[in-house]
């Protein structure tokens, strides 16, 4: 059995494919798995590190602006797409994959299209609540489309091949709250706020925390992943505290989730999959410059479910935002209700279910 995963650029598009690949290796002895990506994406280093073959394509994303410079750049982008499609067709003819799986990012488009033109079964896994135009177009010829949010169904016509399966995410073993707090040297008698913005960080979140951290001190535990870009600046401005753990990156994310009563973060699809699988209540601050504003759509889906509260990026540093967070941390009953709603939106078996669908498609 051969499976080709097409997707990348960011971890949000790559790691769902990695999770499905790992599940396939458990289920199908001798399965051959490869990925397609670009030299500019995270897959260029991560895929070889994980031991998978990587096919590189010259595809690039379209510029969204309307200036003459953007229009001129898009001429080159279209030429690269034509070249990538030709290469993708060659890869399909050479590799003869049983299934091609698209997980998003502009690199998935030429591979999915080449597979569809070649009669190869294709499966699309969409992480976000608002699917992009390319995904919606390619879904018309896809064998199956798997969504992370039920709200996304309205964008796809043929419901017989559209499934809400969830977004494959990292799994974390359950650990006692007190043991997790001990790991971070924090107090067990205080509620705990976990804050992160990705490996590079989220500047608006960091700036808001810098403004409020003195007012949080002694009232709540704070586990704060600053990201690499802001680490030095934040560490230079924050005084040491017995109720604050501070670092550029959290290696033991399972322990951080285990200690947290509330999470403050962006609304990326992978983070939301982890939060809902674990049943964590959260305050989401969607990144306002995400493509097609997809983080806001992701957050809105969970707001409607009663699992999260959303705060606009521009309002993070307002006193009202701090009061919202403190009120939540002091209301265990409301946190329990939000956590229950959050777990109801989770799909902890997503990787296993998607692997089973890929295997079934390979036999068809």
- On average, the pLDDT of the chain sits at 91
Q: Which residue has the higher pLDDT, 38 or 350?
A: 350
Is 304 known as a binding-site position?
no
In the prediction, which pLDDT does 10 show?
Answer: 81
Confidence of residue 82 (pLDDT cuts 50, 70, 90): confident
| pLDDT of amino acid 175 | 94
Q: What phi, psi does 182 have (nearest 5°)?
A: -60, -40
Per-residue pLDDT for 216 more than 90? yes
The band of 63, judged by pLDDT with boundaries at 50, 70 and 90, is: low
Q: What is the mean pLDDT of residues 222-229?
A: 92
Q: Tell me: is residue 12 an annotated ligand-binding position.
A: yes
Inter-residue contact 115 to 92 (CB < 8 Å): yes
Are 260 and 192 spatial neighbours (Cβ–Cβ below 8 Å)? Answer: yes
pLDDT at site 41: 84
For residue range 3-41, what is the model confidence (pLDDT) as tens digits?
999 988 888 889 999 999 999 999 999 999 999 988 888
pLDDT at 75: 46
125 annotated binding-site participant = no
State phi, psi for 267 to the nearest 5 degrees: -120, 40
Asked if residues 24 and 359 have their Cβ atoms less than 8 Å apart, the reply is: yes
Quote the CA–CA distance of 147 and 94 in Å, as a whole number. Answer: 30
Q: What's the CA gap between 68 and 332, in Å, rounded?
A: 55
Sequence-ordered list of residues with C-beta below 8 angstroms from that of 361, at least 6 positions apart, any chain: 98, 99, 121, 123, 143, 144
Residue among 158, 99, 106, 160 at smallest CA distance from 135: 106
35-49, 188-202, 225-239, 276-290: which is most confident? 276-290
Residue 70 has pLDDT above 80, yes or no: no
145-201 pLDDT, tens per residue? 999 999 999 999 877 899 999 999 988 989 999 999 999 999 999 999 999 987 667
- Establish whether 10 is an annotated binding residue: yes
In sequence order, the 6+-apart residues with CB closer than 8 A to the CB of 224 are 195, 196, 209, 213, 234, 244, 245, 246, 247
Residues 255/180, Cβ–Cβ less than 8 Å: yes
Residue 58 has what pLDDT? Answer: 76
What is the set of domains in the chain, with CATH numbers?
Answer: 2-169+348-362 (3.40.50.2000), 177-345 (3.40.50.2000)
Find the range with the poorest average confidence among 17-21, 69-73, 134-138, 304-308. 69-73
Residue 66 has pLDDT above 80, yes or no: no
- Summarize the confidence of residues 131-151 as an average pLDDT: 92
To the question of whether residue 42 is assigned a binding role by annotation, the answer is no
Residue 71 has pLDDT above 90, yes or no: no
What's the start-to-end Cα distance of the chain, in Å?
12
- Residue 199 marked in a binding site: yes
314 annotated as a binding-site residue: no
Mean pLDDT of 201-220: 92
Neighbours of 206 (CB within 10 A): 23
Say if residue 215 carries a ligand binding annotation. no
pLDDT digits (tens, 9 = 90+) for 291-349: 889 999 999 999 999 999 999 999 999 999 999 999 999 999 999 999 999 999 999 99
């Amino acid at each position: 059995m051969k499976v080709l995963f097409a997707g990348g650029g960011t971890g949000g598009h790559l790691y769902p494919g990695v999770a499905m690949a790992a599940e396939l290796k458990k289920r199908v002895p001798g399965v051959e798995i490869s990925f397609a990506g670009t030299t500019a994406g995270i897959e260029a280093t991560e895929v070889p590190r994980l031991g998978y073959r990587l096919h590189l394509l010259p595809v690039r994303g379209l510029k969204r602006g309307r200036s003459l410079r953007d229009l001129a750049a898009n001429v080159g982008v279209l030429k690269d797409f034509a070249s990538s499609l030709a290469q993708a067709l060659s890869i399909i003819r050479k590799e003869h994959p049983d299934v091609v799986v698209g997980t998003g990012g502009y690199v998935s488009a030429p591979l999915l299209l080449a597979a569809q033109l070649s009669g190869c079964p294709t499966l699309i896994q969409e992480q976000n609540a608002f699917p992009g135009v390319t995904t919606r177009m390619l879904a018309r010829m896809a064998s199956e489309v798997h969504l992370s949010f039920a709200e996304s169904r309205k964008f796809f016509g043929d419901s017989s091949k559209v499934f809400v399966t969830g977004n494959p995410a990292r799994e974390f073993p359950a650990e006692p709250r007190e043991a997790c707090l001990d790991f971070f040297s924090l107090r067990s008698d205080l509620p705990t706020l976990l804050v992160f913005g990705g490996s590079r960080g989220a500047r608006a979140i960091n700036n808001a925390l810098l403004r409020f951290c003195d007012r949080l001190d002694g009232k709540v535990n704070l586990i704060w992943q600053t990201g690499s870009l802001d680490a030095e600046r934040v560490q230079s401005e924050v005084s040491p505290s017995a109720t604050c753990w501070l670092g550029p990156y959290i290696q033991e994310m399972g322990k951080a989730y285990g200690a947290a009563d509330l999470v403050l973060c962006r609304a990326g699809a992978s983070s939301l999959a982890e939060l809902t699988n674990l049943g964590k209540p959260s305050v989401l601050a969607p990144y306002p410059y995400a493509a097609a504003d997809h983080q806001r759509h992701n957050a809105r889906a969970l707001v409607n479910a009663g699992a999260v509260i959303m705060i606009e990026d521009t309002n993070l540093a307002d006193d009202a935002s701090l009061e919202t967070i403190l009120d939540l941390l002091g209301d265990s009953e409301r946190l329990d209700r939000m956590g229950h709603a959050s777990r109801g939106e989770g799909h902890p078996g997503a990787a296993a279910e998607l692997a089973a669908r890929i295997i079934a498609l390979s036999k068809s």
